[in-house]
Chains A and B, each alone.
Chain A
Amino acid sequence: MLTFNAHKNIHKNTAKNSIYQIVITSLLTLGLAACGDSYNNGDDNYTPLVQPPMEYSYSITLTNLTYGQPLSPIAVALHGDSKMWQVGQSASVALEKLAEGGDNSDFLALESNLASTMSDGPLPPGASVTLHISTTEPMANYLTVVTMLVNTNDAFSGLTGVDISTLVLNQEKSWQLNVYDAGTELNNEAVGTIPGPADGGVGFDAARNDIDLVGYHSGVVSKDDGLSSSVLTQAHRFDNPAVKLTITRTK
């Protein structure tokens, strides 16, 4: 597998910016014309043209591609130019809570979020869910989607800080997402450490006993494949990609 994505950084003016420029130009033109009229007719009751803020809406569909890893309630956020995690950096506590316990509440409450939403419940293997998100914030140009693979110690999948400002109306874009490891909890797969139905154990633990750097996950081993202390079986193994994500701009 050789995946290849081209991020073309040539068009500095985003679609949004261009639209704003057009709106501003139109306003100026109309304004000047109106002023001209009022001057000629002596009419001082000119009201400036007020344009409602532009609204952007997106639908986001996720499909769980795994055999036996339910996904924790999906968190979706729109924000400015930033990444919520990066390979080689320590996970934030909000990400740690999500990746170890499936708890997205801190993540959704991040002050940097300009809009956010979540799925009603976990997403079972083979299932899909579609979420809708809207914003009038002109800076909400970047997308983050994140979810935990719940039958693991601290595996999560998602994508973060993806520029969606170039999407035109009804344009859709898809990704096949790989699995990250938050690096905050050892992958010992031990009884009591996995929050999903395979164990029903503890989710978030503030102690960090792993590499403390986000990286790609090495997969679960399971007791069937030589990790004698594991509570997981062959049925919990997974491979990349784990999630398919499609975003469509609907407004």
Chain B
Amino acid sequence: MKVIKQSPIKATLTLLALALASTTTMAQELAITVTNLTQGLHFTPVVTAAHSNESRLFMLSDMASTELQAMAEGGDISGLVSLLSNADANINENPAGGLLAPAMSASFTLTNDSGNTHLSLAAMILPSNDGFVGLDSWEIPDEAGTYTVFLNAYDAGTEANDEIRGSGVPGEVGMPVPPPLDASIGMNGTGVTDMEANNKVHIHRGSLGDDDMSAGKSDINNSVQRWLNPVAKLTITVL
């Protein structure tokens, strides 16, 4: 876990904020748990950030940025982290220390600066070509309490959902298969489609999959690696 933009001055300010029974414009302490609700999907390293109302990680019906594409096709969040850093966001990276396995949770804390009023999150879902779990600009409540937000699976619209083994490099076809997933993903699929007609970010239509681990159209196992929304739960405690 790495928390960016935390300094002694910041900590002092936070204490001061608590002492003054913090008003709406002060920094907040957030205790966050992200839960992978599925039994068959892995999440690649998760990036979570508090940012201003002007920044967006992604937006439905908009084209994905190249940084979002790199996350959605290959699980690489470094580009998104740079974008967020440049926008003075408060960032948490990779709270699970790698893949967030099915049904597992990862917890972390995030202190947001006063202008960083909105929370976003992204991580690629595996197996998929360019699917990701996301939260787009959820307004962080002023009032202390515990809040629960359920997250859907999105499609970045940058790669055809052929559902066969391939590459995680942006622009290259196929799905990345990291070693922990190797045994659970099929082989020799002929490809579900080579088209990506909707090139905007959209709600993922789900994987087709098939029931043949060594042939068929898809290398995805249809009775294990499909999903229904929501795919993740975020519990945010505003302290």
- Cβ–Cβ contact A213 & B145, under 8 A: no
- Cβ–Cβ contact A218 & B208, under 8 A: no
Tell me whether A178 is interfacial, beta carbon within 8 Å: yes
Tell me whether B233 is interfacial, beta carbon within 8 Å: yes
Tell me whether B222 is interfacial, beta carbon within 8 Å: yes
Chain A 139-188 interface residues, beta-carbon cutoff 8 Å to B: 178-179, 181, 183, 186-188
Tell me whether A50 is interfacial, beta carbon within 8 Å: no
- Contact of A87 with B143 at beta-carbon distance under 8 Å, contacts A217-B228, A227-B222 already known: no
For the complex formed, measure the closest distance between the CB of B195 and the CB atoms of chain A, giving whole angstroms: 20
Kindly report which residue of chain B lies nearest to residue A3, judged by CB atoms: B150
- Cβ–Cβ contact B144 & A10, under 8 A: yes
Chain B 84-142 interface residues, beta-carbon cutoff 8 Å to A: 102-105, 138, 141
Tell me whether B198 is interfacial, beta carbon within 8 Å: no
- Cβ–Cβ contact B148 & A211, under 8 A: no
Kindly report which residue of chain A lies nearest to residue B227, judged by CB atoms: A218
Tell me whether B28 is interfacial, beta carbon within 8 Å: no
Chain B interface main SS type: loop
- Cβ–Cβ contact A4 & B147, under 8 A: yes
- Cβ–Cβ contact B147 & A7, under 8 A: yes
Tell me whether A101 is interfacial, beta carbon within 8 Å: no
- Cβ–Cβ contact A9 & B146, under 8 A: yes
Partner of A228, one of B37, B102, B152, B211: B211
- Contact of A8 with B145 at beta-carbon distance under 8 Å, contacts A1-B150, A218-B38, A227-B222 already known: yes
Chain B 144-178 interface residues, beta-carbon cutoff 8 Å to A: 144-152
- Cβ–Cβ contact A7 & B145, under 8 A: yes
Tell me whether B226 is interfacial, beta carbon within 8 Å: yes
- Cβ–Cβ contact A6 & B147, under 8 A: yes
- Cβ–Cβ contact A87 & B103, under 8 A: yes
- B148 proximity list for chain A (CB < 8 A): 3-5, 7
- B143 proximity list for chain A (CB < 8 A): 8, 10
- Cβ–Cβ contact B146 & A7, under 8 A: yes
- Contact of A239 with B228 at beta-carbon distance under 8 Å, contacts A213-B39, A221-B223 already known: yes
Tell me whether B44 is interfacial, beta carbon within 8 Å: no
Tell me whether A216 is interfacial, beta carbon within 8 Å: yes
For the complex, give the distance between the alpha carbons of A55 and B223 in Å. 47
Contact indicator per residue, chain B 22-49, by CB within 8 Å of chain A (1) or not (0): 0000000000000111111000000000
Tell me whether B219 is interfacial, beta carbon within 8 Å: no
- Contact of A215 with B102 at beta-carbon distance under 8 Å, contacts A88-B35, A187-B223, A227-B222 already known: yes
- A108 proximity list for chain B (CB < 8 A): none
- Cβ–Cβ contact A211 & B228, under 8 A: no
- B228 proximity list for chain A (CB < 8 A): 178-179, 216-219, 239-240
Kindly report which residue of chain B lies nearest to residue A210, judged by CB atoms: B39
- A226 proximity list for chain B (CB < 8 A): 208-211, 222
For the complex, give the distance between the alpha carbons of A181 and B223 in Å. 12
Contact indicator per residue, chain A 1-23, by CB within 8 Å of chain B (1) or not (0): 11111111110000000000000
- A214 proximity list for chain B (CB < 8 A): 103
- Cβ–Cβ contact A6 & B226, under 8 A: no
- B224 proximity list for chain A (CB < 8 A): 187, 218
Q: Measuring CB to CB, which residues of chain B are less than 8 angstroms from any residue of chain A?
A: 35-40, 102-105, 138, 141, 143-152, 208-211, 222-231, 233
15 further interface pairs, Cβ-Cβ under 8 Å (given A2-B149, A186-B223): A2-B138, A2-B150, A3-B148, A4-B148, A5-B147, A87-B105, A88-B35, A88-B104, A178-B230, A188-B223, A189-B223, A213-B103, A217-B39, A218-B226, A229-B211
User: Can you list 22 contacts pairing A with B, beta carbon distance less than 8 Å?
Assistant: A2-B151, A4-B147, A4-B148, A5-B148, A6-B141, A9-B146, A10-B145, A87-B35, A87-B105, A88-B105, A178-B230, A186-B223, A188-B223, A211-B39, A215-B102, A216-B227, A216-B231, A218-B39, A218-B40, A218-B224, A218-B228, A239-B228
